[in-house]
Amino acid sequence: MTDKARSSTSTEQFQQAFWVVVPAAGVGERMLADRPKQYLPLAGKSVLEQTLNRLLSHPGIIGVVLVLAEDDSYWEQTELVTEKRILITRGGEQRFHSVLNGLKRLAEIIPKQDWVMVHDAARPCISHDDLNSLILATPKTKDGLVLGAPVRDTMKQVDSSAQVLSTLDRSCLWHAFTPQVFRLGELEAALTACLDKNLPVTDEASAMEYCGYHPQMVQGSEHNIKITRPKDLCLAEMILKTVAEEQE
């Protein structure tokens, strides 16, 4: 089903309306640009606006907690600055500090047992089909969900000089994307535990795993790329153009 067809589904179809925490407080070092990558132009808007429009146009999403850098001077200039469904809070040193700040803001307005999504500002190609898959899988999970895809290439384990040690069993390996879905209180506690123990947190799921949870992978589109390096913008532009053409 296309995004257009899915978008015509109503909020009532979903058991819970989701809040999404969107970390957007990074500097985008690898992008080598003159501004944080979430404010670079993409298909007529900024990367961040594309991401937020994708989320807020889905009937299962009630609002966004947007996490911005302390010294962000770009947000005020965007068209979405007056959008009532976006709450703003401030970011931290690393991504997971920013996510934790977003969760704390959310805990002021919704119960801790509610499911929440976390989605990177730098993934503007998230589709409504993928959001549907996550929302419809939520009632069947206990420990949370991670959008992702099985790896396709042969995977090698190497030493520090890139010499091959072994070939890994590909059938057990997935790429992890965002959105990821967890109960607000459980994710906040897991991230806080990692912070206290100084453990590295690469995504929300890794913090949950540390606390003994086993989230479920949900297969999503490989078009849901993260804008990381300059060439990714061209790729994202092509993906968004293809989606727009499919909807015409």
Ordered DSSP codes for 14-62 = SSSPEEEEEEE----GGGT-SS-GGGSEETTEEHHHHHHHHHHTSTTEE
Q: Per-residue contact track with ligand CTP, 119 to 158, x per CB under 6 A?
A: -xxx------------------------------------
Q: Count other Cβ atoms within 10 Å, centred on residue 171.
A: 7
3-state SS assignment for residue 119: coil
Residue closer to ligand CTP by CB (options 59, 92) is: 92
Nearest to 118 by CA among 11, 176, 204: 204
Q: In the set 54, 58, 95, 128, which binds ligand CTP (CB under 6 A)?
A: 95
Helices (H), the chain: 3-7, 47-56, 95-107, 128-137, 184-196, 204-210, 231-247
Residue closer to ligand CTP by CB (options 92, 144) is: 92
Which residues contact residue 229 at a Cβ distance below 8 angstroms, ignoring those fewer than 6 apart? 30, 31
Instruction: Give the shortest CB-163-to-ligand CTP separation in angstroms.
Output: 27
Q: Per-residue contact track with ligand CTP, 59 to 88, x per CB under 6 A?
A: --------x---------------------
Rule CB under 6 A: is residue 47 a binding residue for ligand CTP?
A: no
Rule CB under 6 A: is residue 105 a binding residue for ligand CTP?
A: no
CA distance 174 to 96: 21
Burial of 128: CB neighbours in 10 Å, binned 0-12, 13-18, 19+ = buried
Rule CB under 6 A: is residue 24 a binding residue for ligand CTP?
A: yes
Asked if 170 contacts 155 with a C-beta cutoff of 8 angstroms, the reply is: yes
Structure tokens of 156? Answer: 């090698």
Q: Per-residue contact track with ligand CTP, 226 to 245, x per CB under 6 A?
A: x-x-----------------
Q: In the set 15, 29, 150, 219, which binds ligand CTP (CB under 6 A)?
A: 29
Q: Please report which helix (H) or strand (E) contains residue 179, including its range.
A: strand 174-183
Residue nearest ligand CTP, Cβ-based:
26
Instruction: Give the shortest CB-195-to-ligand CTP separation in angstroms.
Output: 13
Instruction: Give the shortest CB-69-to-ligand CTP separation in angstroms.
Output: 7
CA distance 140 to 209: 18
Residue closer to ligand CTP by CB (options 27, 173) is: 27
* Site residues for ligand CTP per CB under 6 A: 23-30, 38, 67, 91-95, 98, 120-122, 226, 228
